[in-house]
Amino acid sequence: MGGLIPNPHDQNVMQKLDATFSDPHLRNLRNRIRGPAAPEPHFFSDPGNARHLARISLRLRIHPNGPPPPTPAQLKARWQYFLQTLLTDPVKAAQNGTTVAEVIREALQVFVVTDDPKCTAITFCAIPDDGTLPTGIDYRADINPDPYQPRPAAPYVASIQLMCRIEIPPGVSAPDAGPDNGEVPPVQPNI
């Protein structure tokens, strides 16, 4: 089943992620977080309020929208299920004492906020399990450079590669993630 990864919907999401996390969109996002009179300094990480990858994805308009089938609305609902349920499963998506969703969110905080302007872009990829996922684990995020270690002093491009044992099951869905506490409107900022 993992041999179907990446499928056209995965490719669509990866293209959107790559575009959002490279300039000029990356600079616009950074200005919202760190720029003069930044309206939302805690976009990825708020010490007083949890941030969730599914909500961040919704706010950045990251979800597959073609080619059908399924319909764009079904694809978006499946994507939300993937982010809200599959990548937050404490057993099947366990990583570094937390979940894959949290590992990715924390890496985004480091690459977009902490390492501004050293990190010049972030690239994204989904690949099938190459046999290295432990038994019982369906997802793993391989992140380079390691956000928990010192990063290069020179400008660099980061990468987030999601290894998947299984596809998003057909017919699953979840509603759009509700707002995280402490969010600053608009729901989908013009980034």
Q: What is the pLDDT along the chain (191 residues), one digit of tens a residue?
A: 345 788 899 999 999 999 999 999 999 999 999 988 899 999 999 999 999 999 999 999 999 997 888 999 999 999 999 999 999 999 999 999 999 999 999 999 999 999 999 999 999 999 999 999 999 999 999 999 999 999 999 999 999 999 999 999 989 999 999 999 999 999 999 88
Closest CA to 59 of 32, 86, 98, 27: 32
Please tell me whether residue 76 adopts helix, strand or coil conformation.
helix
What type of residue is 63? H
Nearest to 180 by CA among 81, 59, 94: 59
